[in-house]
Structures are given as structure tokens and as C-alpha cells.
Amino acid sequence: MGTPKLPLTEAERKTLRQAKIKLGSIAAFTPEQLSISIETSLERAAILLAYAKFQAVPSIGPSLAKNLIELGFYDLSDIKSSGESGAQLVERLERLHGVWMDPCVEDVMRLAVHHANEPRSDKQWWDFTTERKAYRKQNGYPEDRPSKAWHT
């Protein structure tokens, strides 16, 4: 696992340095441990841990980690227990943001669901492009899908 990119405040960065905690080791902490170590709320610690854990999955960066957190997930086990598919996750994300997402976002959501069920997998987001295209060709998109694109 590489070093995750976390949305840290300057005060949090300073506290991490003072505690000699490396960003690459944060995913091993519990929310309680991190909360105490960087003197932040339990909720904030859980969010930072979620960023770190999601970025440990191949091809999930900080932006897609943020999307998963916005959907209410803090760990791959949360995704697994939701029983939602990658298609359902991207559809929920689109409704949340009020825009349709780049198709590769759905590929990453499918990747996240896959890794939630197969944690040792080394699959990347592009391994799900064919599956997404076949699914969308057969099922299309929901009627209430936002009409505005993410990039406008």
C-alpha cells in the first residue's frame, strides 16, 4: 500500500508529525486510537481512516474514496454488508450530486464491490469496463438519472 492522500488540516498534519505517525500506517489504527493520537473527534478519525482504507484498494484514489464516504461507507465491510451493486452505488452517487458521473466512476464502484467481496484481488477499475457496458446495454439507466453531466 502506498501513502494515502488524506484531507488533513494543518493542525492534524502537525499533530501526526509530533506523534511520529506516518500516513502509510494510519489504516492500521482504530478510529478511537486515531482520534486520541491526533486529538480529533471520533467521527473525523473515522473519515480519515476511511480515506486511507479505500485508497489501499488498487485504483481507488482520494476522489473516489470521498465518493464512497459520501455514500455512507467507512470500510469495505460496509459495502459488502450493504448488498448494493456497483451500478446501484453510482446511481445513488449521481442522485446525491445531481449530475451523471463519468462511466469510469461506475467501473470504480464495481471494483469497490468486488474488493469488498474478494479482498485479496488485484483487479483494477478497467477490469470492470466490459461488465459495465454489457450491463448498461441490457438495463440502461434509471429514468430519474440526472441530465446534467459532472463536467458542466
Other Cβ atoms less than 10 A from the Cβ of 135: the count is 16
H-helix or E-strand containing 97? Answer: helix 86-97
Query: Which overall architecture, per CATH, does domain 1-56 show?
Result: Orthogonal Bundle (1.10)
Q: Could you tell me the residue ranges of all domains in the chain?
A: 1-56, 58-152
| pLDDT for the residue 67 | 97
Which pLDDT tens digit goes with each residue over 51-83? 999 999 989 999 999 999 999 999 999 999 999
What is residue 1's predicted lDDT score, i.e. its pLDDT? 58
The secondary structure of residue 98, as a DSSP letter, is: T
Express each pLDDT in 70-123 by its tens digit: 999 999 999 999 999 999 999 999 999 999 999 999 999 999 999 999 999 999
Residue type, 56: A
- Cβ(31)–Cβ(51) under 8 Å? no
Set of cell numbers at residue 79: 459495502
Predicted TM-score (pTM) of the model is 0.93
